Chain A
Amino acid sequence: AIQMTQSPSSLSASVGDSVTITCRASQGIRNDLGWYQQKPGKAPKLLIYAASSLQNGVPSRFSGSGSGTDFTLTINSLQPEDFATYYCLQDYNYPRTFGQGTKVEI
């Protein structure tokens, strides 16, 4: 199974900051990567698919990049509603695997 390693596991930031979360795959996955945002008590919400494509309705301050094994999620001008946990997911092959999550805290 492909292992997805996210870093950092948590970070502290302020409103208005830019933050970057990274996800590394244990083998090449082309651009078959998605990013999710999860708030307490809620289901994950898809933000980015195909590594860099913004899901409909997601604010443009979210962006993704990368290909192969190394990927990043960037949130520009952090808003209060962005404090949450973020996960990457590889959909290159089965079994699907998630990163362990990055908690973005105030």
Chain B
Amino acid sequence: QLQLQESGPGLVKPSETLSLTCTVSDGSISSSSYYWSWIRQPPGEGLEWIGSMYYSGSTYYNPSLKSRVTISVDTSKNQFSLRLRSVTATDTAIYYCARANYGDPFDYWGQGTLVTVSS
């Protein structure tokens, strides 16, 4: 059974860069047809898609975050990562990594990690 696990700092200072990693277990991140994605949820609020990356390198980002976001894949470690630059308090959220098959919604999710932006 595929498993995803987010990791990274739980506290980031305003104006700095949020960096998270998602480790994929019991499955290869290089498998064709899968998109590896990040989704976030501010405390008590709804879900917001951040971006997705195909294993080959194609990326898609939420226009509202595109200028600050980079998603990358490290196939040697079976991981993918999120970098969100110049964070503010509004970036405080639970960050989830997830997988989607081409043309399908996200079927496997990590447990989520809370990132707080505060000085």
Which A residues are closer than 8 A to B by beta carbons?
A: 1, 32-34, 36, 42-46, 49-50, 55, 87, 89, 91, 94-101
What are 22 A-B pairs with beta-carbon distances under 8 A?
A36-B47, A36-B105, A42-B111, A43-B111, A44-B47, A46-B105, A49-B105, A87-B46, A87-B47, A89-B47, A89-B105, A91-B103, A91-B104, A91-B105, A95-B63, A96-B37, A97-B49, A98-B46, A98-B47, A98-B48, A99-B46, A101-B46
CB within 8 Å: A-B pair count: 55
Give the distance in Å from the alpha carbon of A99 to the alpha carbon of B60 in the complex. Answer: 20
Cβ–Cβ contact A89 & B48, under 8 A: no
Which B residues are closer than 8 A to A by beta carbons?
A: 37, 46-49, 52, 60-63, 96, 100, 103-107, 109-112
The secondary-structure label for the interface of chain A is loop
Q: Which residues of chain A come closer than 8 Å to B48, judged between CB atoms?
A: 98
